[in-house]
A and B are shown apart, each in its own frame.
Chain A
Amino acid sequence: MTHAMANAMRPPFPAERGVDVYNKKLGMWVFLASEVMFFAALIGSYVILRFGAPGEWARPGIVLNIKITAFNTFLLICSSVSMVKAYAAISDGDPRKMRFWLLMTIIGGATFVGIQVYEYFHLVEHGFTPAGVREGSELAELVKDGTLPAATMGLYGSTFFTMTGFHGFHVTCGVLSMAYLYFVKALPGKITPQDYAGIEVVGLYWHFVDLVWIILFTIVYLI
């Protein structure tokens, strides 16, 4: 009997013990691992461009509206707490409280997206665009008088809108997922103290989005 045949006749290996989590949760963690690499690519590109930039980098304190974004950061942290409270409520057997906290999270997330859209309109109005500073705008005057560096405003514009835009897209997906959970699953009573996988899995995604924003806020707005 050849070696190959001997292998073919061998019974299959016994299934290995898994990581002891249900498939949806494991799937979400694997997805989040890929998301870490996705955001690492964006943040890494930003860091590399910033360190290699010719001359001074744009000053976020002058270009951006830090106060409104700080409020938005606080809002996202609050929505993360309300999501984990929804999880705690259903695991304690209280669907009514779970629905309340889930709704609060949806409102918090939707408000975050709304404020980000407002921020984008505000920035573009003042001349800060993904292509840099718009000619004839308020910011263009600051570039002319040397307050802002002309050489790096284009890089800052494109990296700023790419990173915050992709994050905003993730927040929007999170809000839509939670709205689906709320209207299709939670309200008809399909999320029970015996089966609340949806809340835990979407919650993991939501906390990850919050975590990414914590890093982005520091890197893009504060440094």
Chain B
Amino acid sequence: METTHKHPPYLMIWLYLAVLTAAELALAFELPISRNLKLLLLLFLAVWKALLVAMFFMHLKFERWNLRILAIIPVPLALIFIAAGMSEHIW
């Protein structure tokens, strides 16, 4: 039996991702702003794009919290791991 589910607007997400990628390129090579601001904005755009993929393409937005937690837990662990490695440069 054929059933039609309601799906997220995948093509709209694709458009967002394409526009954000173009914005990243413009920011990296065209905009005359300070290096630190550029770095922050580029990281912000990358995280934004990654969240769009995780939430809509990997359907985390629609999953139960117990599965979301499984996906989220490694992220702070990875950040702690990187921060620990960076510690001698920061302090």
CB A93 to nearest CB in B, in angstroms, measures 3
8 Å CB contact of A84 from B50, B57, B71: B57
Smallest beta-carbon distance A81→chain B, Å: 4
Q: Are A81 and B78 in contact (CB under 8 A)?
A: no
Query: What 1/0 mask marks residues of chain B from 61 to 91 whose CB sits below 8 Å from any chain A CB?
Result: 0011011001101110111011001101100
Mark interface residues in A128-153 (1 if CB within 8 Å of B CB, else 0). Answer: 00000000000000000000000000
Asked if B57 contacts A94 (CB within 8 A), the reply is no
Interface string of A189-223 (1 = CB under 8 A from B): 00001000000000110011011001101110011
Tell me the smallest distance from the CB of B21 to a CB of chain A, in Å: 6
Contact B89 A52 (CB under 8 A): yes
A172: chain B residues within 8 A (beta carbon): none
* Band of interface residues on B: 35 or more
A66 touching B78, Cβ below 8 Å: no
Interface membership of A19, Cβ < 8 A: yes
B-binding segment of A3-11, A70-78, A111-119: A70-78
Contacts of A215 in B (CB 8 A): 46, 50
Q: Report the number of A-B residue pairs with Cβ-Cβ less than 8 Å.
A: 135
Query: Is there an interface contact between A19 and B64, defined as CB atoms closer than 8 Å?
Result: yes
Inter-chain contacts of A70 with B (CB < 8 A): 21, 25
Docked CA distance A203–B81 (Å): 28
Kindly state the separation between the CA atoms of A78 and B89 in the bound complex, as whole angstroms.
38
Question: CB-nearest residue of chain A relative to B64?
Answer: A20
Supposing A52-B89, A77-B17, A81-B13 touch, asked if A30 and B70 sit within 8 A by C-beta, the answer is: yes
Q: Which A residues from 43 to 99 make CB contacts under 8 A with B?
A: 43-45, 47-48, 51-52, 61, 66, 70, 73-74, 77-78, 80-81, 83-85, 88, 91-94
Identify the B interface with A (CB < 8 A). 1-5, 7, 10-11, 13-14, 17-18, 21, 24-25, 27-29, 39, 42-43, 45-46, 49-50, 53-54, 56-58, 63-64, 66-67, 70-71, 73-75, 77-79, 81-82, 85-86, 88-89
